[in-house]
Amino acid sequence: MPNAKSLAIRPEGRRNKGRSRRESNNTLAYSRTNARATVQCAWCDRRFDGTDEYLTGRVRCARCGVATTSPWPSDEQLSAAYADWYRPESGRFSGLGDKVLRRTRSALADRLHRVLPPGPVLDVGAGDGTLVDAFVRHGRDAVGLEPHASGPHIRNAEVEDVDGNWSAVIFWHSLEHLRRPARALSHAAALLSPGGTLVIAVPNATSLQARVFGDRWLALDLPRHLVHLSPPALVSKVEALGLRVERVSYLRGGQVVFGWAHGLVGKLPGHPDVYEAIRRTEARQAAQSPAFRLYALAAAVVALPFALAATAVEVAARAGGTIYIEARREPATEESRR
């Protein structure tokens, strides 16, 4: 694995400078971090050589096709990137945003609760615990893992620290944030009881929107996203762990229409950022004038029909902006493993 400490990354200095300009491109700003390029694939551990593809802020592995964020961020850089503005106590989004998030998490919990075998659920990267709370309301034991968070059902631990038997392990837009995502998945698969299900939602780095928007694609989110996955890489990894992939969706993981709206608006003069515009004032990276915010929001309204049409196209082409997977451990597989 790339080891941040061995890379002697210079203390953060440029990020804030880059972010204070609202037209700044986060991917480009991060890629200018004064540190050596990442030397190893964070997904398959291959050492990079001249055959890999060097992109802005990431390197795409010639073996597995997964891109790794480059340079590999130091712990200090990640702490700065997750500073309070990212997820303040009062919620991230203004108006309906946080309500919509809660509603969709609730719908996911309702459906999974119906199809899962009895037993507890583990949510890796639980955020403020919305999904966990939805399972608890169904009367199911649920534990969420989230660094620096607290709550009756939230633990500050890594998935590798967890043992026991779980009816589901869920990575809802969290796998791409982990320093050792493949190892986390292997451990998660071993935690599943017979009939238990691994649920994963991640951005699709080979989606149509990722290709159209390139370095400005919303879901690159450097340096918080450390790996940039493709459907074949994710599916083959899960199958190699002895699980049967029962559902792949390019819409269910969410953020697909929003990815298009954000990208289309970002192509306008001044590169307005809809994601910033819908966040509460205290959850924004940089100050935004009311007029510029209004410009971004108005543009998003105009872009919405186009975003919906583009979403329909990319989902039909099985190249949607997110990958959602459900994979089950079958009882027979469990026995043959031993």
Return the range that interacts with Zn ion (CB under 5 A); candidates 39-47, 175-183, 218-226, 328-336. 39-47
At closest approach, how far in Å is the CB of 53 from Zn ion?
Answer: 11
User: Which structure tokens are listed for 160?
Assistant: 């590798």
Return the range that interacts with Zn ion (CB under 5 A); candidates 19-27, 45-53, 238-246, 254-262. 45-53
At closest approach, how far in Å is the CB of 1 from Zn ion?
Answer: 12
Return the range that interacts with Zn ion (CB under 5 A); candidates 54-62, 91-99, 257-265, 309-317. 54-62
CA-to-CA separations, 320 to 17, 202, 206, 224, 307, in angstroms, rounded: 33, 11, 9, 21, 12
Rule CB under 5 A: is residue 190 a binding residue for Zn ion? Answer: no
Site size for Zn ion (CB under 5 A): 7
DSSP code, position 90: T
Q: Which of 4, 9, 29, 41 binds Zn ion (CB under 5 A)?
A: 41
Return the range that interacts with Zn ion (CB under 5 A); candidates 55-63, 104-112, 140-148, 290-298. 55-63
Rule CB under 5 A: is residue 39 a binding residue for Zn ion? Answer: no
- Amino acid at residue number 163: D
Rule CB under 5 A: is residue 61 a binding residue for Zn ion? Answer: yes
Q: State which residue, 61 or 265, has the beta carbon closest to Zn ion.
A: 61
Q: Helix, strand, or coil here: 122? A: strand
User: Which structure tokens are listed for 241?
Assistant: 């762990």
For the chain, give me the number of helices (H) and strands (E)? 12, 11
Q: Helix, strand, or coil here: 142? A: strand
DSSP output for 106-117: HHHHHHHHHHSP
- Amino acid at residue number 13: G
Q: Which of 19, 46, 153, 183 binds Zn ion (CB under 5 A)?
A: 46
DSSP output for 134-194: HHHHTT--EEEE-TT--STTEE---GGG--S-EEEEEEES-GGG-SSHHHHHHHHHHHEEE
Cα–Cα distance, 305 to 216 (Å, whole number): 20
Q: State which residue, 44 or 190, has the beta carbon closest to Zn ion.
A: 44
Q: State which residue, 41 or 134, has the beta carbon closest to Zn ion.
A: 41
**Interface residues for Zn ion in 64-93 (CB under 5 A)?**
64
Structural contact between residues 296 and 274, judged by C-beta atoms closer than 8 angstroms: yes
Strands ordered across the beta sheet of 227-228 = 53-55, 58-60, 67-69, 227-228
At closest approach, how far in Å is the CB of 52 from Zn ion?
Answer: 9
Return the range that interacts with Zn ion (CB under 5 A); candidates 38-46, 109-117, 197-205, 222-230. 38-46
Return the range that interacts with Zn ion (CB under 5 A); candidates 2-10, 62-70, 206-214, 222-230. 62-70
Other Cβ atoms within 10 Å of 21 Cβ, number: 11
**Interface residues for Zn ion in 274-293 (CB under 5 A)?**
none
At closest approach, how far in Å is the CB of 51 from Zn ion?
Answer: 11
At closest approach, how far in Å is the CB of 199 from Zn ion?
Answer: 23
Q: State which residue, 67 or 210, has the beta carbon closest to Zn ion.
A: 67
Contacts of 94 by beta carbon, 8 Å cutoff, 6+ apart? 278, 279, 280
Q: Residue with structure tokens 């997977």? A: 325
Q: State which residue, 51 or 336, has the beta carbon closest to Zn ion.
A: 51
- Among residues 243, 235, 193, the alpha carbon closest in space to that of 324 is found at 235
Q: Which of 35, 39, 44, 80 binds Zn ion (CB under 5 A)?
A: 44
* Site residues for Zn ion per CB under 5 A: 41, 43-44, 46, 61, 63-64
